[in-house]
């Protein structure tokens, strides 16, 4: 996988874990290893600009996803062709606040957000309740399985 990861947020974040989680999620979703994705970590002011530009909503948000090639998940015997999945923009400062509110670590929150965004890049959505249940279960499965690899 070609994953471009840039931290312009001004805070220290677990870049290795974010990169490994992204690689794990893309592999689990049967994406061609030649596919690429960009992950950009930004501060709250920059995130607010992206949020306003992409969603026409004010204030910073936790994460945004911008699909490019419209790739979809593959299957074990049929991987998704190589292409550019898109751009993930994550705000660690907002993620830290959410982690505290949800009672888990900053690392777990950022991994959840990256998994969530990768699923959005692959066409998953949570506008309808059934889709939300499927997407959130899959993102939790990805994060839990990835965290298990750290304990092994």
* Digit-coded pLDDT (tens) for 2-13: 999 999 999 999
Alpha helices in the chain (DSSP H): 15-28, 44-55, 92-102, 106-121, 129-151
Please state the pTM of the whole predicted model.
Answer: 0.94
Report the run of H or E that residue 64 belongs to, with start and end.
Answer: strand 63-67
Please, which pLDDT band fits residue 131 given cuts at 50, 70 and 90?
confident
CA distance 77 to 16: 29
Q: Quick one: CA torsion of 6, 29, 97, 8, rounded to 10 degrees?
A: 10
pLDDT at residue number 10: 96
Neighbour count for residue 119 (Cβ, 10 Å): 22
> Tell me, what's the pLDDT at 22?
97
Tens digits of per-residue pLDDT, 27-56? 999 999 999 999 999 999 999 999 999 999
For residue 81, pLDDT beyond 90 = no
């Amino acid at each position: 996988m070609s994953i471009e990861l840039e931290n312009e947020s001004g805070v220290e974040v677990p870049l290795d874990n974010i990169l490994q989680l992204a690689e794990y999620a893309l592999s689990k979703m049967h994406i061609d290893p030649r596919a690429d994705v960009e992950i950009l970590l930004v501060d709250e002011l920059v995130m607010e600009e992206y949020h306003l530009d992409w969603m026409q909503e004010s204030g910073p948000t936790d994460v945004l996803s911008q699909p490019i090639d419209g790739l979809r998940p593959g299957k074990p015997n049929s991987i998704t062709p190589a292409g550019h999945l898109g751009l993930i923009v994550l705000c660690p400062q907002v993620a830290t606040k959410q982690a505290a509110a949800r009672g888990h670590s900053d690392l777990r929150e950022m991994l959840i957000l990256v998994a969530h965004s990768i699923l959005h890049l692959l066409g998953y959505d949570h506008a309808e309740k059934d889709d939300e249940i499927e997407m959130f279960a899959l993102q939790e499965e990805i994060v839990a399985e990835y965290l298990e690899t750290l304990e092994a």
